[in-house]
Structure 1
């Protein structure tokens, strides 16, 4: 049953990203990359190789439908690679080893730090690979900041709603 829910979330997030969120721009900036919620919400006991395969698959699907050659796949794999370290840095004493990261399991502040760091790594990688240059540094930094803020806002809202159910 767990795999069915995972596949359902995978399909839902890819469709949401490519059909709706890729067209959300505020002053040509601030595009939420909400599909990374899928990577951030895996249970803490998942193996790194498994997580990286799932991350590559979701990133590649977004790339295929968004016409971005490997940018999202590369950023997603990097996030999946860094995720165990990010989780370890946010673990509280007495917390069980196996849990699903979220506000209910980690608390607001720990989950916010974990999510912010993961989103920042992912968004920075996507924007740098997309720009492929540091010539226009100001728009690049503005894009990184606004994309991070929008993505973080969306993830925190959805996790808050899921926590109340």
Structure 2
């Protein structure tokens, strides 16, 4: 039953990403990558390998529809690999059992830090793979910063809507 719920989020987030968000380019730089919300919201009890499989298929699906050969899959699997470690950084050990990351379960500040760290890790890999060059480092950093800010804002907004 829980996996049907996750599959619904999977389909919804992929459709939102490929049909709408991939066409949003604020100031020519910033694009929100909201599809990673699914990876952020998995329960803390899920194994790293299972999470990485979900992340691979999520990223691959976005890659197929976005015509980006493996970039989203690589960045999303990287995020899934790091997520348990990042979750342990921002959640006290006694609260880590069977925790679904959310503002209501973690608190505003720890959840915000968790989201920023996860988005930073994902976007770092994704944008480096997209540019595949370090010839314009300031442009690269500006794009990373703007995409991170936009994605974090979208995740927090979706979390506020999802909470209600």
Q: What TM-score does the superposition give when structure 1 sets the normalisation length?
A: 0.97
* Match of residue 65 from structure 2: 65
Counterparts of 1:95-110 in structure 2, within 5 Å, are 95-110=95-110
Report how far residue 95 of structure 1 moved: 1.6
Cα deviation digits, residues 134-165 of structure 1 (max 9, x gap): 001111111000000000000001111222x2
Verify: 1:79 aligned to 2:79, yes or no.
yes
Q: Which residue of 1 aligns with 2:51?
A: 51
Aligned residue pairs total: 164
Tell me which moved more, 110-119 or 154-163. 154-163
Per-residue deviation, residues 51-99 of structure 1 (Å, max 9, x unmatched): 0000000000000000000000000000000000000011125425111
The question of whether the paired residues in 1 share the 8 Å contact of 2:44 and 2:96 is answered with: no
Gaps of 5+ in 1: none
Aligned match of 1:118? 118
Give the direction of change, closer, same or farther, for the CA distance of 1:50–1:93 in structure 2 (3 Å limit): closer
1:7 corresponding residue in structure 2: 7
1:28 aligns with 2:28: yes
Q: Which residue of 2 aligns with 1:140?
A: 140
Structure 2 CA distance, aligned partners of 1:96 and 1:11? 28
Cα separation, 1, equivalents of 2:92 and 2:30? 32
In structure 1, what is the Cα distance between the partners aligned to 2:162 and 2:6?
15
Which stretches of structure 1, 4 residues or longer, exceed 3 Å deviation after superposition? none
Aligned equivalent of 1:156? 156
Tell me the TM-score normalized by structure 2: 0.98
Structure 2: any 5+ residue segments left out of the alignment? none
Question: Counterparts of 1:73 and 1:96 in 2: how far apart (Å)?
Answer: 27
Residues 88 and 96 in structure 2, CA contact (< 8 A), matched pair in contact too: no
